[in-house]
Amino acid sequence: MPFPSLGLAPALALAATDAGYLAPTAIQLAAVPAVLRGQDVLGLAQTGSGKTAAFSLPLLQRWAEAPRHRSRRAVHTLVLVPTRELAAQVGETLRILAQHLNERPKIVVLFGGVSVNPQMMALRGGADIVVATPGRLLDLLDHNALKIGDVAALVLDEADRLLDLGFAEELGRILALLPAQRQNLFFSATFVPAVEALAAQLLRDPLRIEVESTDATEPDIAQRAIEVDASRRTQLLRHLVQEQKWTRVLAFVATKHAAEIVADKLRKAGIEAEPFHGLLSQGKRTQVVADFKASRVQVVVATDLAARGIDIAQLPVVVNYDLPRSATDYVHRIGRTGRAGESGLAVSFIPAESEAHFRLIEKRQGLSVPRERIAGFEPVEVAVAPQAIESPANGGIKGKRPSKKDKLRAAAANKQP
């Protein structure tokens, strides 16, 4: 089905084709007509399914068709996102899709970590579409740099992450400044209970779209789980990069400190590597992404900051150096590869102490990933299996961790002759 059949103007359909969309994706097929009708939408689809274009295309058309009688631009569309990188990506997508419109909207992207002054300058004369992280938007609202009382459409992109990162209070303050009558669009790869509750509160008779993964839409991502001692993970990563001749690797770690340490060790081994985390300046983060896209950097060692919002075309490999905290984060991490019809590889390192956690991820995602061992990196440490502890008093079987009573009974038994 071609884009014009969804009700899109020829200029937007042409822009979608120019952007590489040969045909609408499943989320676009369902969402575009609903957004064009002005309906609220709750959209759930996997990473890389085209969610950004699913709301950008119809909202650009609604902006183009909206009457504008004010001498000063008023914000028509507000898109809230959780990270700087996603803000920049969404803003760029909107600009690309608007390129053939007779009149182009003024699109302003707002995020923290950089000076507020250039963004205040960008807002002079108003803006038609604003893409923002919540904290920086509130800063600029406090400076009276913009007003959002005339917003016609609100988009929460990666809505679950917005709440997960602690933006609930900021969202509440922003929502209080918006007009009661507006279109609301919630898009995400996953919906957690907090998002469901917020959607129930804000959305009016929404179209709920859940794009099920099928053989046609499921990303082509091969998954591997390699058992290795925690102390040898960096050596194993270096070995795999060199032996497998991986050209670009996004490796996820748990902390900012680990990102710096692992990247430094890889550089000392002759591999071009850079850390990527929230303490880096925005200029440095932008440079790392640009160098990674241009293959000037071979390995980026990142915290979960990069799990959403960074779209690296044809990224071949993602490595879970540290396992993510949740099964949802696992989905977003490995979703950085295997995008837009490309195949990808996701490798997870499984130290002994992480085996139980990976089994939980497998269970919640319906996975079964065979464990591997790499010659020369066979683990020495052994996962501690839950041990049954028989209670002398009642014969009951306890779980992995003995209770205080079990310990007292065991001590008493050991003292007996």
Q: pLDDT at residue 259 above 60?
A: yes
* Confidence at residue 333, expressed as pLDDT on a 0 to 100 scale: 87
Residue 377 belongs to a domain: no
C-alpha to C-alpha distance for 186 and 181, rounded to whole angstroms: 16
* Confidence at residue 332, expressed as pLDDT on a 0 to 100 scale: 80
Say if residue 133 is in the same domain as residue 245: no
Q: pLDDT at residue 320 above 90?
A: yes
User: Higher model confidence: residue 338 or residue 370?
Assistant: 370
Residue 37: phi, psi to the nearest 5?
A: -75, -10
Give the strand pairing for 371-372 and 343-350: unpaired
* Confidence at residue 366, expressed as pLDDT on a 0 to 100 scale: 87
> Per residue in 179-211, pLDDT tens?
999 999 998 877 777 778 888 888 999 999 988
Q: How many CB atoms lie within 10 A of CB 416?
A: 5
Could you list the residue range(s) of the whole structural domain that residue 304 is in? 220-372
Give the strand pairing for 220-227 and 77-80: unpaired
Q: pLDDT at residue 155 above 50?
A: yes
Residue 414 belongs to a domain: no
Tokens of 58: 């119809």
Residues 88-96 have a mean pLDDT of 92
Task: Count structural domains, the chain.
Answer: 2
User: Higher model confidence: residue 376 or residue 392?
Assistant: 376
Q: pLDDT at residue 84 above 70?
A: yes
Q: Where a domain ends, among 185, 210, 235?
A: 210
Say if residue 174 is in the same domain as residue 309: no
Q: pLDDT at residue 384 above 80?
A: no
Residues 339-364 have a mean pLDDT of 89
DSSP string, 199-210: HHHH-SSPEEEE
Q: Where a domain ends, among 176, 210, 244?
A: 210
Say if residue 48 is in the same domain as residue 70: yes
* Confidence at residue 279, expressed as pLDDT on a 0 to 100 scale: 85
Residue 401 belongs to a domain: no
Residue 61 belongs to a domain: yes
* Confidence at residue 219, expressed as pLDDT on a 0 to 100 scale: 65
Q: What is the largest CA-CA distance in the chain?
A: 96
Q: pLDDT at residue 226 above 50?
A: yes
C-beta of residue 47 within 8 angstroms of C-beta of residue 331: yes
Q: pLDDT at residue 390 above 50?
A: no
pLDDT-based confidence at residue 212 (cuts at 50, 70, 90)? low
Residue 26 belongs to a domain: yes
Residues 10-24 have a mean pLDDT of 87
Say if residue 184 is in the same domain as residue 308: no
Tokens of 251: 């490796």
Say if residue 360 is in the same domain as residue 226: yes
- In angstroms, what CA-CA distances link 292 with 36, 205, 315, 403? 37, 43, 10, 51
Q: Where a domain ends, among 159, 190, 210?
A: 210
Task: Count the alpha carbons within 13 Å of 264 in the hemisphere toward its beta carbon.
Answer: 6
Q: pLDDT at residue 391 above 70?
A: no
* Confidence at residue 387, expressed as pLDDT on a 0 to 100 scale: 47
Say if residue 124 is in the same domain as residue 192: yes
Say if residue 98 is in the same domain as residue 139: yes
Could you give the 3-state DSSP secondary structure of residue 274? Answer: strand
Q: How many CB atoms lie within 10 A of CB 385?
A: 9
Q: How many CB atoms lie within 10 A of CB 362?
A: 16
Q: Which helix (H) or strand (E) holds 132?
A: strand 129-132
* Confidence at residue 321, expressed as pLDDT on a 0 to 100 scale: 97
Say if residue 26 is in the same domain as residue 166: yes
| pLDDT mean across residues, the chain | 85
Say if residue 240 is in the same domain as residue 150: no
* Confidence at residue 393, expressed as pLDDT on a 0 to 100 scale: 40
Q: pLDDT at residue 48 above 90?
A: no
Say if residue 242 is in the same domain as residue 119: no
Say if residue 131 is in the same domain as residue 158: yes
* Confidence at residue 34, expressed as pLDDT on a 0 to 100 scale: 95
Residues 29-49 have a mean pLDDT of 88
Residue 279 belongs to a domain: yes
Residue 392 belongs to a domain: no
* Confidence at residue 382, expressed as pLDDT on a 0 to 100 scale: 77
Residues 255-273 have a mean pLDDT of 96
Q: pLDDT at residue 112 above 80?
A: yes
Domain at 193, CATH number: 3.40.50.300
Residues 6+ apart with CB under 8 A from 417: none
Residue 412 belongs to a domain: no
Residues 158-173 have a mean pLDDT of 81
Q: pLDDT at residue 43 above 60?
A: yes
Q: pLDDT at residue 240 above 60?
A: yes
C-alpha to C-alpha distance for 181 and 202, rounded to whole angstroms: 11
C-alpha to C-alpha distance for 110 and 133, rounded to whole angstroms: 7
Q: pLDDT at residue 396 above 70?
A: no
Q: pLDDT at residue 306 above 90?
A: no
pTM: 0.66
Say if residue 358 is in the same domain as residue 264: yes
* Confidence at residue 133, expressed as pLDDT on a 0 to 100 scale: 94
